[in-house]
């Protein structure tokens, strides 16, 4: 186990730089039961900062697996009304949300993908309103991780349980800059650098990007008035927060009707407790028209059939290969980390804030502006040190954006 002092520093960064907790604000934490020690530290620190109330929403991999294996089919097809109401009521009162993601990447590998698809669809429908709060930054929220045994063993299979957990703690604290003397200043500097990158791209207003790498030749159209974001975000109430710890990406919304070509994954994807690996998607006019996967073909099939929007893109994110997460050389089997090691795209819902005025647009307006909607948002990794990206300007000229997996311009 990592020393308490390190966990305290991590809790501080989560509350100050992650959600930027305000005095008298309620905190809603989703945490694995294995992480009870850290969740308690987080609660103590939050009350120390003047939190009004701290609610922990416990999750337990064992119970989840028992449910997916044994519960009746109709349980898979429904999402409890009280849970939807609980989450929405916290959002309505302006709570801040911390989600601690630490699922065993192999948890549901043996469960019938039909059952998983039914459950995620039911949750997707029930949590539509709640999702709007997050994806429009109407509340402050952050996603972080702490090691659990099963997850740590997946990354470090040759180590004993305790050793694997300690190794993963070591990696996480480096990536969230908690190993530095002054993590708050380190985060301010990092946010500053990400801001320079997205300001450069916003200025350019490329009409499309062309991504080339082994197995990938993809043209990604960008909506008029698209906005690149990265690092800190600003909530509706003007509170600056970091939605992901760690974060290394700058991202925007692809045009939902203008993506063409083929893209190959470069890292496995842990989707809802099952793994998808070595997969390829082919797009025409924004829609996936062909796909194949060495592992998880069925899971991709269900994902693409989830709804109309799950066959289109909702995000393109650029991450240079110098990212400390990429440099670790590890595969984390956890999207929060893997997506920050690699350029990625997401199937499903786009962030409305990625286009000018998007947070105030209705569904039809978002559609007209090329902004995708779906019940899902699933990031997958396509970057490597072999990826080149060109930006195409309105007059048709090409400019280098990425060469050999990193920025082709100086910041």
Packed helices 113-126 and 128-135: angle between N→C axes, nearest 10 degrees: 70
Cα distances from 38 to residues 166, 175, 197, 350, 370, in angstroms, run 14, 17, 34, 32, 41
Determine, following the binding rule CB under 5 A, whether residue 346 of this chain makes contact with Zn ion: yes
Strands (E), 312-405: 313-318, 344-348, 377-381, 388-392, 398-403
**Looking at 180-188, 252-260, 322-330, 340-348, which segment touches Zn ion (CB under 5 A)?**
340-348
- How long, in residues, is the chain? 411
Q: Residue 344 CB, nearest distance to Zn ion (Å)?
A: 6
Q: Residue 377 CB, nearest distance to Zn ion (Å)?
A: 6
In the complex with Zn ion, the residue whose CB is nearer, 118 or 311, is: 311
**Looking at 5-13, 211-219, 245-253, 353-361, which segment touches Zn ion (CB under 5 A)?**
245-253
Q: Residue 243 CB, nearest distance to Zn ion (Å)?
A: 9
Q: Is the bond leading into 256 cis (omega within 30 degrees of zero)?
A: no
Distance CA 140, CA 397 (A): 39
Per DSSP, the three-state class of 394 is coil
Per DSSP, the three-state class of 65 is helix
Q: Residue 124 CB, nearest distance to Zn ion (Å)?
A: 15
In the complex with Zn ion, the residue whose CB is nearer, 119 or 135, is: 135
Residues in 277-336 that interact with Zn ion by CB under 5 A: 315, 317
**Looking at 63-71, 244-252, 349-357, 364-372, which segment touches Zn ion (CB under 5 A)?**
244-252
**Looking at 67-75, 196-204, 262-270, 376-384, which segment touches Zn ion (CB under 5 A)?**
376-384
In the complex with Zn ion, the residue whose CB is nearer, 207 or 315, is: 315
Determine, following the binding rule CB under 5 A, whether residue 134 of this chain makes contact with Zn ion: no
Assigned token pair, 57 = 């929403």
Distance CA 171, CA 107 (A): 22
x/- binding map, residues 80-119, to Zn ion, per CB under 5 A? Answer: ----------------------------------------
Q: Residue 313 CB, nearest distance to Zn ion (Å)?
A: 10
**Looking at 134-142, 147-155, 271-279, 375-383, which segment touches Zn ion (CB under 5 A)?**
375-383
Determine, following the binding rule CB under 5 A, whether residue 207 of this chain makes contact with Zn ion: no
* Bridging pattern class, strands 250-252 and 287-295: unpaired
In the complex with Zn ion, the residue whose CB is nearer, 315 or 373, is: 315
Distance CA 149, CA 168 (A): 10
Q: Residue 303 CB, nearest distance to Zn ion (Å)?
A: 14
Distance CA 23, CA 326 (A): 37
| Contact by Cβ (8 Å): 316, 353 | no
In the complex with Zn ion, the residue whose CB is nearer, 244 or 274, is: 244
**Looking at 70-78, 132-140, 243-251, 322-330, which segment touches Zn ion (CB under 5 A)?**
243-251
Distance CA 234, CA 249 (A): 16
Give the binding-site size for Zn ion (rule: CB under 5 A).
Answer: 6
Determine, following the binding rule CB under 5 A, whether residue 379 of this chain makes contact with Zn ion: yes
In the complex with Zn ion, the residue whose CB is nearer, 13 or 317, is: 317
In the complex with Zn ion, the residue whose CB is nearer, 31 or 381, is: 381
Distance CA 351, CA 136 (A): 7
Strands (E), 201-360: 208-213, 216-221, 233-234, 240-241, 250-252, 259-264, 269-271, 274-284, 287-295, 313-318, 344-348
What is the number of other CB atoms lying within 10 angstroms of the CB of residue 52?
15
Residues of this chain that interact with Zn ion (CB under 5 A) are: 249, 251, 315, 317, 346, 379
């Amino acid at each position: 186990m990592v020393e308490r002092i390190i966990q305290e520093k991590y809790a501080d960064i989560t509350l100050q730089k992650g959600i930027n907790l305000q005095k008298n604000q309620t905190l809603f934490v989703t945490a694995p039961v294995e992480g009870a020690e850290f969740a308690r530290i987080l609660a103590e620190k939050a009350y120390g900062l003047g939190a009004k109330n701290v609610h922990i929403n416990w999750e337990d991999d064992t119970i989840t697996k028992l449910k997916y294996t044994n519960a009746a089919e109709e349980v898979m097809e429904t999402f409890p009304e009280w849970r939807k109401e609980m989450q929405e009521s916290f959002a309505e009162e302006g709570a801040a949300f911390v989600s601690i993601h630490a699922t065993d990447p192999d948890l549901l590998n043996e469960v019938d993908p039909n059952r998983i698809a039914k459950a995620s669809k039911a949750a997707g429908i029930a949590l539509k309103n709640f999702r709007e709060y997050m994806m429009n930054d109407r509340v402050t929220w952050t996603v972080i991780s702490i090691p659990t045994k099963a997850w740590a063993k997946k990354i470090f299979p040759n180590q004993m349980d305790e050793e694997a957990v300690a190794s993963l703690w070591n990696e996480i604290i480096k990536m969230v800059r908690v190993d530095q003397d002054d993590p708050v200043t380190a985060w301010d500097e990092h946010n500053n650098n990400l801001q320079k990158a997205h300001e450069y791209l916003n200025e350019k207003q490329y009409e499309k990007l062309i991504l080339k790498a082994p197995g990938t030749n993809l043209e990604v159209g960008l909506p008029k008035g698209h906005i690149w974001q990265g690092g800190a975000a600003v909530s509706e109430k003007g509170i600056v927060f970091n939605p992901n710890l760690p974060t290394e990406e700058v991202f925007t919304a692809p045009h939902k009707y203008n993506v063409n070509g083929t893209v190959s994954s470069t890292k496995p994807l842990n989707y809802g407790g099952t793994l998808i690996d070595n997969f390829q998607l082919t797009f025409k006019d924004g829609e996936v028209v062909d796909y194949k996967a060495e592992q998880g073909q069925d899971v991709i099939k269900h994902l693409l059939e989830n709804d109309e929007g799950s066959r289109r893109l909702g995000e393109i994110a650029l991450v240079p290969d110098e990212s400390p997460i990429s440099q670790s050389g590890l595969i984390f089997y956890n999207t929060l980390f893997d997506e920050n090691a690699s350029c990625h795209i997401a199937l499903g819902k786009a962030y409305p804030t990625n286009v000018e005025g998007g947070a105030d647009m209705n569904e039809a307006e978002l559609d007209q502006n090329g902004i995708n909607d779906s019940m899902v948002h699933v990031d997958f990794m396509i970057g490597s040190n072999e990826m080149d990206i060109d930006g195409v300007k309105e007059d048709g000229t090409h400019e280098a954006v990425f060469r050999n997996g990193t920025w082709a311009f100086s910041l």
